[in-house]
Amino acid sequence: MPELPEVETVVRDLRPLLTGRRLASGKVSKHALRRPWSKAWAARLAGRRVEEVRRRGKWIVIALDDGAALVFHLGMTGQLTVVPAGEPVAGHTHLTIELDGGGQQLRFRDVRRFGSATLFPDAAALGRFFEVLGLGPEPFDLDPAAWRAALGRTGRCLKAVLLDQGIVAGVGNIYADESLFEARLHPARVARSLSAAEADRLRKAIATVLARAIKRRGSTIRDYVGGSGRRGGYQKEFRAYQRTGRPCPRCKTPIEAVRLAGRSTHFCPNCQRTPESVLTSGY
């Protein structure tokens, strides 16, 4: 599933391609996405100008000039790109919106159809949606004291905490593993066992890893491409994720994998060593 760096890359690609453009007619496939598309939305979109393209967590927000917002979630295999109108339409393209005079199109393709496209009528409706989701702060905006307090309130393992979108928005399986490796913290460590210094180290590691991944346009494991159709490159720089049995880039100890919080989890047993007394079973 695309995580923050991939979604941020799509947003940065789309921003110059969409800002100031007017949306024209749209076409929806007969196959439903995770959220049903309303026919009334197509009429409301027609003629609207794109004011802003931004990200919130793993969500892409296209703000329109009448206060409405077209919001996408890429799910597991979603691709949101701007392409020439004459380019052949790939299979599993579920939403096509013409831009300006029709020379280009915004296309949403999703093979597994876990993604979504939703039109919110105004900022209040969008705000309520994110509030119901319970999205936590952005990783680059984590308040040190609030972050330490959030870790101190839970007996869950660090891997589970980083996957919790209510604690920090946008981090998923890949960047949880990479951030914990960067911070030299075992993924099964009980969150509330961290010292203030360790909590701060993890907070900084998350921001460092995400910024590094954004610079490389995210990670393409299978389907992900940016808004311009280009693939990511950070998968070539993984330190821990999917490197089971390969040498740690720091100490050469083989990377190990366990299952934590329902996800495959990768770590260095030497660099991320921690006392048994502060490990958890990982839920």
Phi/psi region, residue 151 (left: phi>0; alpha: psi -120 to 50; beta: rest), is: alpha
Find out whether 26 and 97 touch, Cβ atoms under 8 Å. yes
Cα of 38 vs its chain's centroid, Å: 25
- Give the active site residue among 12, 15, 34, 263: 263
**What is the spatial distance between Cα 134 and Cα 281, in angstroms, rounded to a whole number?**
26
State the DSSP H helix or E strand holding residue 264, giving kind and residue range, or none if neither: strand 263-267
Find out whether 246 and 269 touch, Cβ atoms under 8 Å. no
84 is catalytic: no
51 is catalytic: no
**What is the spatial distance between Cα 243 and Cα 257, in angstroms, rounded to a whole number?**
9
263 is catalytic: yes
- Give the active site residue among 48, 55, 56, 58: 58
CB half-sphere exposure, 158, CA atoms < 13 A: 30
Give the residue among 68, 65, 104, 63 at the shortest CA–CA distance from 85: 104
Sorted by sequence, the CB contacts under 8 Å of residue 162 that are 6+ apart come out as 168, 171, 175, 176, 179, 180, 206
Tell me if residue 158 falls in helix, strand or coil: helix
Structure token digits, residue 36: 């049903």
Residue 78 β-bridge partners: 110
Give the residue among 28, 9, 220, 224 at the shortest CA–CA distance from 116: 28
Give the residue among 233, 238, 229 at the shortest CA–CA distance from 217: 233
**What is the spatial distance between Cα 228 and Cα 11, in angstroms, rounded to a whole number?**
10
Q: Which amino acids are annotated catalytic?
A: 2-3, 58, 263
